[in-house]
Amino acid sequence: MNSRLDLSFVVSYRHQIFFTENAFAAKNNILKELVGVAKVLPIIDAGVVASSPDVVTDLIEYAKVNQLKLTRAPMILTGGEESKKDQAVVNAVLSAIEEDAICRHSYVLVIGGGALLDAVGFASSIAHRGVRLIRMPSTTLSQADAGVGVKNGINAFQKKNFTGTFTPPYAVVNDFAFLKSLSPKNLRDGLVEAVKVALLKDPEFFKSLESDSRELTAGNLTLINQCIRRSAELHARHITQGGDPFELGSARPLDLGHWVAHKCESLSKYRLTHGEAVAIGLAVDVLCARELGLFSKSDSERVIDLLVRLGFKLYAAELDINNGDLLMQGLEEFREHLGGQLTLILPTAIGQSTQVHELSRGVVKKVTAELQQRFSSCAALS
């Protein structure tokens, strides 16, 4: 005789995102109030230490003044895509969690770019089935998008984020002081995620990006901070209020341009940064939407023009669709990542979008050929 017990339950999550400047100033109480008297394992991106050498002593001094219980001097780990290429960073963090007796009431504090946040977040999410993680994103790209999300992961099988988890961080602290030490290229990178989310969700934000593009490109930190904050807010609100935070369906509503971006990144062996690749991916998807009759020519040119004015190069050799159909493999990899039916998000107007379940090789070939003709000789701002 067959029987069945079918129960449903709901787990409530809290997503805390703080915006500040100089989080390690003695009187800034954000970190102090977050961790209280619990132990904290501190981890810092080597790239952050290189560009802001005082970050280590600043954190140690802050801990002394505010009586934070750091378990060791900050671990300095490799950041960038190198941190995600294999298990090395994950294993180093797991070893430190075990050695320092970090438990589910302790904290891992990670300061760095999106790639290191991903790797450390993955390790934190699988140690003891999940220890508390505080992220301090240090780049525009991670403050605008990756750092405020709920994903963690590393690359495997030449596929981006093949191994990973959905685990919301205990808290995210966006400290705009870190942006002051970024190169013009890295400062610009995160703006592409602002363009993407504005195109999908907020026409007024898109207009402000257009009107402020000259100042943003020039590195106006006040405007960049405002831009990053609005982008983070839009991303976080979609994750928490969009109905599918852990992507159980077949759609990835915030991943406009990302099927191309992820494939171009891997094909370039990560010569292209994530921001550069997303800019190219946005250009491809916007023009595909135009070719499919979903998006007007005038709006598509607004997007292309904004990306160019922000300094992004919109063509790379990896777009060559005649190269063994490697680019088109990105569509299947994108579908496979969630499973089910291929679901792409394409714009229908500034601030509006729709789902598309197929994209022909012919359309992609036409669009990439157009981008090659228009932009192959153009150089991005240095």
Domain with residue 38: its CATH number is: 3.40.50.1970
Q: Could you tell me the residue range of the domain that residue 133 belongs to?
A: 17-181
What pLDDT, on a 0 to 100 scale, did the predictor assign at position 217? 95
Same domain, 150 and 229: no
What pLDDT, on a 0 to 100 scale, did the predictor assign at position 320? 86
Structure tokens at 57: 């002593």
Same domain, 162 and 203: no
Same domain, 259 and 306: yes
What pLDDT, on a 0 to 100 scale, did the predictor assign at position 91? 97
- Calculate Rg over the CA atoms of the chain: 21
Same domain, 260 and 232: yes
Bridge partners for 171 per DSSP:
134
What pLDDT, on a 0 to 100 scale, did the predictor assign at position 378? 65
Q: Find how far residue 176's CA is from the centre of its chain.
A: 16
Distances (CA, A) of 270 to 98, 155, 160, 266, 279: 32, 12, 11, 6, 15
From 165, 181, 197, give the residue that closes a domain. Answer: 181
What pLDDT, on a 0 to 100 scale, did the predictor assign at position 382? 40
Same domain, 355 and 265: yes
Note the pTM of the prediction, 2 decimals.
0.92
Same domain, 203 and 143: no
Judged by DSSP in three states, 19 sits in strand
From 146, 181, 216, give the residue that closes a domain. Answer: 181
Q: Are 109 and 80 in contact (CB under 8 A)?
A: no
Q: Phi-psi region for residue 277, left (φ > 0), alpha (ψ -120 to 50) or beta?
A: alpha
In a domain, 303, yes or no: yes
Cβ-in-10-Å burial (0-12, 13-18, 19+) of 188 comes to buried
In a domain, 224, yes or no: yes
Give the span between the Cα atoms of 127 and 300, in whole angstroms. Answer: 45
Residue of 363, 380, 372 lying closest to 315 (CA atoms): 372
DSSP state of 382: -
Residues 6+ apart with CB under 8 A from 167: 121, 124, 125, 130, 133, 150, 152
In a domain, 8, yes or no: no
Mean pLDDT by 10 residues, the chain (382 residues): 92 94 96 97 97 96 97 97 93 98 98 96 97 98 94 89 94 97 92 97 98 96 96 94 82 88 91 95 98 98 98 94 80 85 94 95 95 79 41
In a domain, 1, yes or no: no
In a domain, 212, yes or no: yes
Q: What is the secondary structure of 61-126 as a DSSP string?
A: HHHHHHT-EESSSPEEE--SGGGGSSSHHHHHHHHHHHHTT--TTSEEEEEE-HHHHHHHHHHHHH
